[in-house]
Amino acid sequence: MVVICPKCRTKLKISDEKISPDGSRFRCPRCSSVLLVKKPQKKATEINKNLVMVAHSDEAVAEKAAKLLRAERYDVITVRDGIEAMVTALNRLPFIAIIDVALPKIYGFEVCRRLKGRPETEEIGVILVPSVYDKSKYKRPPSTLYGADDYIEEDEIEENLIRKINNLKKEKPTAEEQVSSPMTEKTESPSATKPLSDEGIERARRFIRTVLSDIFIYNPERVNEAIGSGTFREVFKSQLTEGFKLYQMRIAQEVRDKGDFFQEEVEEFIERKKKELEG
């Protein structure tokens, strides 16, 4: 099979025999990026009633959820960003998708909205994971679930995840869904295509996305109004200031010195929401 390095666009020809069932890592000979290459999966044609997708950019959280699910004899796929979540959901049609709202590439609540808006994936049960960065601040449920069937806080996963999934499994209808317009399948994990030295930067960016997703998931209408009027930074100045202080406390100085990641992520968030509102 031929794999294209997403960083330098070099084509790598890899023999199928060298790829393990769980995927194998290869280093790009040109830019040294590490790629996780998996064999292409056959597209599903109906909802798999025993398959669960866990979409979370924090590997420890994803593995914790996956371990619980496998103990209950569920088949589990873990993905690390929003693009991979969309591709996997469209091609594998899991019965349940557990989605972190702060996913990179495409925010988790946007992944949920898109899945629920497509006929081939609207029957997938979605459980959102709000990534509250200050547990003492929010003691109420999100004001909207963006079409999701339920939500669960990270610190409740061990206690309540299986119960929530089993409840959804009882409630969901058994109608068969056909895949009518699948997205192009990718063979490498986007999160694994970056050099390993970028892990600190990705951790920093994820923390910022967590701050922004929390602001949005608890204040969606106010955020949209502020972005539409160009006053997002002013309206949410106190929340952004609080988030920036926590960012300085939790992200090492040597990582922060590599770029103004906080402002970059805020600007990207604003531009993305502008396009959504205009569209």
pLDDT tens-digit series, residues 218-274: 788 899 999 999 999 999 998 898 888 878 877 888 888 899 999 999 999 999 889
In a domain, 231, yes or no: yes
Q: Which bin fits 134, alpha (ψ -120 to 50), beta or left (φ > 0)? A: beta
In a domain, 180, yes or no: no
Tell me which residue range forms the domain holding 14: 2-37
Same domain, residue pair 133 and 201: no
Q: Is the pTM of this model over 0.85?
A: no
Q: How confident is the model at residue 213 (pLDDT cuts 50, 70, 90)?
A: confident
Residues 197-212, mean pLDDT to the nearest whole number: 82
Same domain, residue pair 223 and 258: yes
Q: What is the pLDDT of residue 174?
A: 42
* CATH number for the domain that contains residue 127: 3.40.50.2300
Same domain, residue pair 115 and 77: yes
Same domain, residue pair 145 and 219: no
pLDDT tens-digit series, residues 110-164: 899 899 888 999 999 999 887 655 555 544 555 566 778 888 888 889 999 999 9
Same domain, residue pair 12 and 93: no
Same domain, residue pair 106 and 52: yes
Are 145 and 115 a contacting pair, CB within 8 Å?
no
pLDDT tens-digit series, residues 22-73: 678 888 888 888 888 876 666 677 899 999 999 998 889 999 999 999 999 9
Same domain, residue pair 33 and 77: no
Q: What domain count does the chain have? A: 3
Same domain, residue pair 204 and 264: yes
Crossing angle of helices 261-278 and 220-228, rounded to 10°: 90
Residue 27: what residue type? Answer: R
